[in-house]
Structure 1
Amino acid sequence: MGKYIKKMKKNNRFNQKELRLADVLETVTDIFFALDKEFNVLYINHEAEKVFKLKRKEIIGKQIWSITPPDFKSFYKPFLNARINKTKLKLNRYIKSKNLWFGARIYPLENMLFICLRDITKRKNIEDRLRVTRSTFESVIQAIPDPILIINNDYTVKAINKAAKKYLPAKDISIARKCFEVSHLRKGPCRGAEHPCPLEKIRKDKKPVTMIHKHFSSQGQVIYTEITASPLTDKDGNLEGIMELNRDITEKISAEQKIKKSERRLRNITDSLGEGVYVLDKNDRLTFMNPSAERLLGYSEKELLGKKTHQKFHFLKPSGKHLKKNECNIHRSSQLTKTFLSDNDIFVRKDGSTFPVEYIAAPVKSDGQTVAVVTAFRDISERKEAETILKQSEQRFRTVVESAIDAIITIDNNGKVVSWNRSAEKILGYNKDEILGKLITKIMPERLIPYHEKGIGEVVITGKSKSIGKVIECTAKRKDGLEIPVELSLTSWRIGEENYYTGILRDISERKESEEKLKKAYETEHNISVTLQKSLLPTDLPFIKELDFKYYYQSASYSAEVGGDFFDIFRTGDGKYGVTMGDVEGKGVEAATETARVKFIVRDKAYSGIEPHEVICKVNNSLVKQRTLPFTALTYLLYDPKTSIIKICNAGNPYPYFVGSDQFIKIAGVPVSVFENQKYEQIQIKLKKNDTFILFTDGLIEPRHNHTFFGEQRVRQFIKKNPNLKANRLLKSLVDEVRKFSLNNLTDDVLVLSLRKRA
């Protein structure tokens, strides 16, 4: 595409076909970039200029990172991986500065990258809402310890929870088998007094039912089961099936299954590959149609070429009424020389079926006259369908909540119980007559009552609570005085001037015991990784008379795996001093082990005192030949005490910060162990008294808070605000600032080095 545009510019002339294709490129609503292998801009289209507020003539040849918002750097690693691996990539990114989600397509060519960005914000909003509803629905279903089946109208099992898989006697409990096959090992629907069919009962009575069945376990034991079945209807109230909850009443169940990560049913809401594009001349006759338009409309370009298209596929309104030509915005675009956008229109396929579209129609001018209209459109059927599915999912979720086995308790503004379901009776021991109208503190340990009363007071005064909308763990007291750990989800609602609070309470005694065991196992593995990582850090630093060297290392948070950050300082054979800082790709024990190999290869190559860029080249080739899978960001610095000159070569780590001149030394290169015979650059700086260098791995600048990186500028600001802190204190305080910024969530190791020329 870029070559085609360059050709047109070079020739300085456009025939009719070239004019149409060029205008197509400049009309589509996707953002296009063409970059060289160094990520310099070769070409951008009109949409990219508009969204990022750029001027094409001013930015050609510049690095894309220098002309886009700072948070656009989140594309750096995907761009680099696409270039390195020469593979197409597809990913989504949120750009906070634009408050937009982009769907990115990265196409590597021989010496360039082709980037296509599409605004998918609307789709992501719908996906997020649908995902939350689906995830909540799945979490409720999977967390309930009793067997649950979703059964279609034809008796086929649509979905089951984990408890049902263990409970039912059939060995093959696959989806689409009949319910009576998996529950009773029989060939026909349930019949008779012992096995009344809940589906048939609901068909007849149109309301939830409760009945007793006689089941058999996989060992042949008799199990009497209480079945509670609720109808599942579509948006029009038609019965689609039932949700059947089975409770073993042969013996009481006192604990729930350990909660595992719920299965997510992901669904593609829309096809984001390619827009349909077609061009009409000034007489509304088709002159061009791309393959996506052919696929969406069912017509070939050959069939419609030279024909008027309004009566072919754009003659109906969304209501189904006829759309007159003078009401058609695509026709009006040519007549009024005006661009029209629409997301509430329909097109008609060749087979007569219709589909909703979103389109933009823009006039093409030549010598001041409109010569054509370019229309780019996309099928938004999936988005419309997703909105309908979302409504149905919300309705089904309400059905699940109404029949939930968890304790559901509602209190008024005075803390008195106004609603108490059957599960609350079974979990806490109080029946409705004993608890309704009483204070909720009746189910609380006495030591917790003051905190509850304080929280209720704050809600009454401020209308806010830290607990509402969150899932918290606390302790409840049963009627028999036994205290049990529970998980509480609290929400508030209002009728008139009265506030009410509803809590869903779940006994998590067994889960807490399992979590404690899992925590101890993880801490053991984490400590092994940290110990191995720290053992690779120098313990006895060489004394350099002219140079004060300090470092600070912080392993990742317990919620993250240990990374591969390391450093080394040693004397070379010719009396100089080498300093190495590296970050091995990967996590855990494997990454910590890889650091040892890289560290000792650097020492071996650097001992003779050769230039830093030669050291990095030799290390790179050695690792490539050894077929090292992870790549390593590596910085090597050589200090000559006789001349006070520092030489630096950087391969993939963040820019070093030179405190004295308040600037980041912009030297970068490809990480080692990627390409054989990769060339690297180096710079040299003569140190003056008190000159200070700060080097750090990406674990210092990549921690986030609300989608925002800590970043290099915050490093600079912190160091400038604390000029009098000694090096040890400065480095530790800087890492503490990063920890505070990320709410104590360090997802990667942090290593910071300080080199200062003594006064």
Structure 2
Amino acid sequence: MKFINLHKAILNSMSEAVYVVDRDMDILYSNPAAERLTGFSPQESVGQVCHDIFCERSALCSGICPPRRVMQEQTPVLHKDAETRTKSGEVRQTQISISPFYEKEECVGAVLIIKDVTDLKVAEEKIRKQNVFLTAVIDALPHPFTVIDAETHHLKLANYAAYPGKLPENMACHELSHLSDAPCSGSDHPCPFEKVKETGQPVTVEHTHCGADGKCRDMEVHCFPIFDDRGTLVQVIEYCIDISERKQATAEREKLIKDLQKAVDDVKTLQGLLPICAGCKKIRDDKGYWNTIESYISEHTDAEFTHGLCPDCITRLYPGYANRRKQG
């Protein structure tokens, strides 16, 4: 008797609903947790057919009734998704485990343990919707966005801009960005992971990434560490911004500034004192060479020369021609 009372006390203390049914599906026992789940007291449940108390008879119980199958096949069923109807008519999402029980080696019934997972299912659905939303947001980003395993460098997630298709299993980040079998190294392509490991802080580096089409682009790589509860670096979030056009514009701007500075320097040279020969009028440059006025000014400015003769020089060099012009 003590043994029976002990077993009953154990069943009554369980947080999951427990029902015992015979081979006719009549309820022989229900514990207090079963009443909390369905609203039916043990007095209301015992002696009733189980589907009149808690079975929803939904598509989840397709084919033969699960307890009947367990008793026929004498094989337990664990954690089967089910729906349980309460006394008020509410349908709860549950998981049911069923085991046959025996008397003198004969299966005489089944024990059903029912766990209410409604809140869990609601939470799972909420998480699923959040994942769908976040995936849509990440895929909408115009820049490549990836999550990378810090130990293996394998890609755990990649948005459409990073990899437009199903991500191959165990694909490393350097295979995607550099078409290389080895991780980044050297001063020209420092591995962001190593910098993150050293500092434990977000890191920004510049890399040249090449695509499968052979085209290479200058990228600004931003890496953010993800740590586990023990503070161990487990993953890295990486997103890349294409700065090719920005770098090209910067180079063009620097060249323009350099050209303008040179022009300014040249103008300043002409504004200073020019050593000029009093006889032939040649100008001495900063290297000590004497240059004609034309060549010196042409070299230091954008001016170009055309040659002709002024009236005084015509008279001096060609007096006959000058007189005829005056008489004519």
TM-score, scaled relative to structure 1: 0.25
**Unaligned 5+ runs, structure 2:** 71-76, 102-106, 246-328
Asked whether the 8 Å contact 1:82–1:107 carries over to 2, the reply is: no
1:143/1:39 Cα in 2 relative to 1: closer, same or farther (>3 Å)?
farther
Q: Does 1:227 align with 2:210?
A: no
Identity of aligned residues (%): 23
Asked whether the 8 Å contact 2:149–2:156 carries over to 1, the reply is: no
Q: Does 1:243 align with 2:242?
A: no
Q: Structure 2 counterpart of 1:190, which letter?
A: S
Q: Structure 2 counterpart of 1:63, which letter?
A: V
User: For 2:63, what is the secondary structure of its paired residue?
Assistant: helix
Q: Structure 1 counterpart of 2:240, which letter?
A: N
Query: Computing the radius of gyration over CA atoms, which structure comes out larger, 1 or 2?
Result: 2
Asked whether the 8 Å contact 1:232–1:241 carries over to 2, the reply is: yes
**Displacement after TM superposition at 1:160 (Å):** 2.5
Asked whether the 8 Å contact 2:207–2:219 carries over to 1, the reply is: yes
**Displacement after TM superposition at 1:225 (Å):** 3.3
Question: Matches of 2:117 and 2:183 in 1, distance apart?
Answer: 48
**Displacement after TM superposition at 1:159 (Å):** 0.8
Q: Does 1:150 align with 2:154?
A: no
Which residue is 1:18 aligned to? 4
Which residue is 1:755 aligned to? none
Asked whether the 8 Å contact 1:26–1:45 carries over to 2, the reply is: yes
Question: Matches of 2:152 and 2:35 in 1, distance apart?
Answer: 57
Q: Does 1:83 align with 2:65?
A: yes
1:619-640: CA deviations, max 9, x gaps? xxxxxxxxxxxxxxxxxxxxxx
Q: Structure 1 counterpart of 2:194, which letter?
A: E
1:717-753: CA deviations, max 9, x gaps? xxxxxxxxxxxxxxxxxxxxxxxxxxxxxxxxxxxxx
Question: Matches of 1:59 and 1:187 in 2, distance apart?
Answer: 67
Q: Structure 2 counterpart of 1:102, which letter?
A: T
Select which of 211, 217, 228 maps to 2:211. 217
Select which of 175, 182, 190 maps to 2:185. 190
Which residue is 1:174 aligned to? 169
**Displacement after TM superposition at 1:19 (Å):** 3.5
Asked whether the 8 Å contact 1:165–1:173 carries over to 2, the reply is: no
Asked whether the 8 Å contact 1:82–1:108 carries over to 2, the reply is: no
For this pair of structures, how many residues does the alignment match? 229
**Displacement after TM superposition at 1:128 (Å):** 5.6
Question: Matches of 1:182 and 1:218 in 2, distance apart?
Answer: 9
Which residue is 2:97 aligned to? 105
1:250/1:166 Cα in 2 relative to 1: closer, same or farther (>3 Å)?
farther
1:54-93: CA deviations, max 9, x gaps? 344454333334445xxx62x4443453427936360154
User: For 1:91, what is the secondary structure of its paired residue?
Assistant: strand
**Displacement after TM superposition at 1:150 (Å):** 1.6
Asked whether the 8 Å contact 1:106–1:113 carries over to 2, the reply is: yes
User: For 1:228, what is the secondary structure of its paired residue?
Assistant: strand
1:595-618: CA deviations, max 9, x gaps? xxxxxxxxxxxxxxxxxxxxxxxx
Greater relative contact order (Cα < 8 A, sep 6+): 2
Question: Matches of 1:235 and 1:24 in 2, distance apart?
Answer: 36
**Unaligned 5+ runs, structure 1:** 1-13, 252-759
Q: Structure 2 counterpart of 1:227, which letter?
A: V
Instruction: Give the superposed CA RMSD.
Output: 4.3
**Displacement after TM superposition at 1:181 (Å):** 4.1
Q: Does 1:62 align with 2:45?
A: no
User: For 1:81, what is the secondary structure of its paired residue?
Assistant: coil
1:574-615: CA deviations, max 9, x gaps? xxxxxxxxxxxxxxxxxxxxxxxxxxxxxxxxxxxxxxxxxx
1:236/1:99 Cα in 2 relative to 1: closer, same or farther (>3 Å)?
farther
Q: Structure 2 counterpart of 1:20, which letter?
A: L
1:192/1:78 Cα in 2 relative to 1: closer, same or farther (>3 Å)?
same
**Displacement after TM superposition at 1:32 (Å):** 1.9
Which residue is 1:44 aligned to? 30
**Displacement after TM superposition at 1:126 (Å):** 5.8
Question: Matches of 1:159 and 1:49 in 2, distance apart?
Answer: 45
**Aligned residue runs from structure 1 range 461-472, under 5 A:** none
**Displacement after TM superposition at 1:197 (Å):** 2.6
**Displacement after TM superposition at 1:209 (Å):** 4.1
Q: Structure 2 counterpart of 1:196, which letter?
A: P
Structure 1 runs (4+) deviating above 6 angstroms are 108-111
Q: Does 1:32 align with 2:18?
A: yes
TM-score, scaled relative to structure 2: 0.52
Q: Structure 2 counterpart of 1:151, which letter?
A: I
1:239/1:48 Cα in 2 relative to 1: closer, same or farther (>3 Å)?
closer
User: For 2:225, what is the secondary structure of its paired residue?
Assistant: strand
1:293-351: CA deviations, max 9, x gaps? xxxxxxxxxxxxxxxxxxxxxxxxxxxxxxxxxxxxxxxxxxxxxxxxxxxxxxxxxxx
